[in-house]
Amino acid sequence: MQEFFQQLINGLSYGAIYALIAVGYTMVYGVLRLINFAHGDVYMIGAMAALYAAGGVYGLSSLPWSPGAGLLLNPAIWLGAFALVAGLLRMAGRPQGRWLRSVLTVLAVLTAAAAASEVLTRAVRAAGLPSWPGAVLVLLTAMVNCAALGYVIERVAYRPLRNQARITALITAIGVSMFLEFGGQAVFGASPQAFPQLIPGLEEHPELCRIGGVVIGRVDAMIVAVTLAMMSGLWWIVMRTRTGMALRAVSFRFDTAALMGIDVNRIIAFTFVLGSALAAVAGVLVAVRSPKVDPLMGLMPGIKAFVAAVLGGIGNVPGAVLGGLVLGVTEVMVAGYFPQGSQYRDGVAFVILIGVLLLKPSGLLGQNVVEKV
């Protein structure tokens, strides 16, 4: 019995991570009916951004795209490009065309994100690690970067294809995912890297408390607590703000929402930003728990989080959370109780997937939409 609760606690911790990523999948599917294959890789970028911000790579003081670093993705270059393009357009007349506006907006966002990252990483240096303020700043850095990334991906790769067949956007999503993975391998190096300690005192006192023989680790407790906080924030945004209401309207019926005067483009961008920020949180939490990060770390969790979203009913946010938790707990239970369980751990997600699709395709909390003949 004690072991059961132990496994349950572990499972909840894993499940919380899946829930954070799954929410991003489900929100994007809700508004766009698109499975954002690149979402798992955004989670990876979050971990990577945190890695750099925490100074874990060759002692670099900032992110590869920050002014302090000497790499190609330097925001000075972004700023320069921005200035150049804007200057050229000034000479030729006002900025014309949506495409040009998109390019400028993307450049502006990237510049802003790079500048913010630089400021934040300086603050992290000032706060020192491991420390609570430092950890929060690292988390913020990751969130800012992923939010910007999510925005850019949507703007560049998905928005132009909104009126095309869904499979087109799907293929593009795959392309983006591949780009992030292989690009990540090129920029960050293919081998796993160690993640520095963020939370003070984690190694010395790994346990939070013991209840009747069941150990609740500090890491697990922190993961669950942060996830809860994030979910509450999300709930508040979606349920209590006007933007959130607009988001729900767009999820429900795209065309009508547009007719009601909702700026659909902004809402969709907002959705991506929100989902990506949550994925970043997941990335940082995972990096704290198992301090090894590599460019392909987003592959399996991405797929599993997607399964979690489907399990809960894709398009349904509470469903994604529920699905994530169920998947996490089931995985840990299978690994714990079956003799060869750890080998089959990855297979659990797929078995659940097939089960859901065969028995209740709309998911645990989803609704069956019957086609009217």
In angstroms, give the least distance from the CB of 244 to another protein. 25
Q: Which of 83, 357, 360, 367 binds another protein (CB under 8 A)?
A: 357
- d(CA 149, CA 289) in angstroms, rounded, equals 24
The answer to whether the CB of 116 falls within 8 A of the CB of 147 is no
- Measured from the CB atom, the residue of 56 and 312 that comes closer to another protein is 312
For position 189 contacting another protein by CB under 8 A, the verdict is: no
Closer by beta carbon to another protein, 186 or else 194: 186
Can you tell me the distance from the alpha carbon of 164 to that of 204, in angstroms, rounded to the nearest whole number? 55
Distances in Å between the Cα of 160 and the Cα atoms of 40, 85, 143, 153, 172 are 22, 21, 25, 11, 11
Q: Does 351 bind another protein (CB under 8 A)?
A: yes
E strand spans, the chain:
193-194, 207-211, 214-217, 292-293
Instruction: Write down the least CB distance from residue 255 to another protein, Å.
Output: 17
Nearer to another protein, 160 or 291 (CB): 160
Q: Determine the number of helices (DSSP H) and then strands (DSSP E) in the chain.
A: 13, 4
Interface mask (CB under 8 A) for another protein, residues 313-332, using x and -?
Answer: -x------------------
CA 99 to chain centroid: 27
**Quick check: 346 binds another protein (CB under 8 A)?**
yes
Residues 275-304 that bind another protein (CB under 8 A): 303
Q: What is the dihedral of CA 188, 192, 196, 198, to 10 degrees?
A: 90
Looking at the Cβ atoms of 25 and 270, the one nearer to another protein is: 25
Paired tokens of 94:
């006002």
Smallest separation, CB 34 to another protein (Å): 9
The 10 Å Cβ neighbour count of residue 16 is 25
Residues 33 to 72 in contact with another protein, rule: CB under 8 A: 33, 35
Would you give the binding string for another protein spanning residues 139-178, x where CB under 8 A is met?
Answer: ------------------x--xx--xxxxx--xx-xxx-x
Are 12 and 328 in contact, with CB atoms under 8 Å apart? yes
Please tell me whether the peptide bond between 130 and the residue prior to it is cis, using omega within 30 degrees of 0: yes
Are 17 and 278 contacting, i.e. CB atoms less than 8 angstroms apart? no
Total number of residues binding another protein (CB under 8 A)?
Answer: 37
The answer to whether 100 contacts another protein (rule: CB under 8 A) is no
* Residue 68 DSSP label: T
Interface with another protein, residue 354, by CB under 8 A: yes
Q: Give the footprint of another protein on this chain (CB under 8 A).
A: 33, 35, 157, 160-161, 164-168, 171-172, 174-176, 178-179, 182-183, 186, 303, 306, 310, 314, 343-344, 346-347, 350-351, 353-354, 357-358, 361, 371, 373
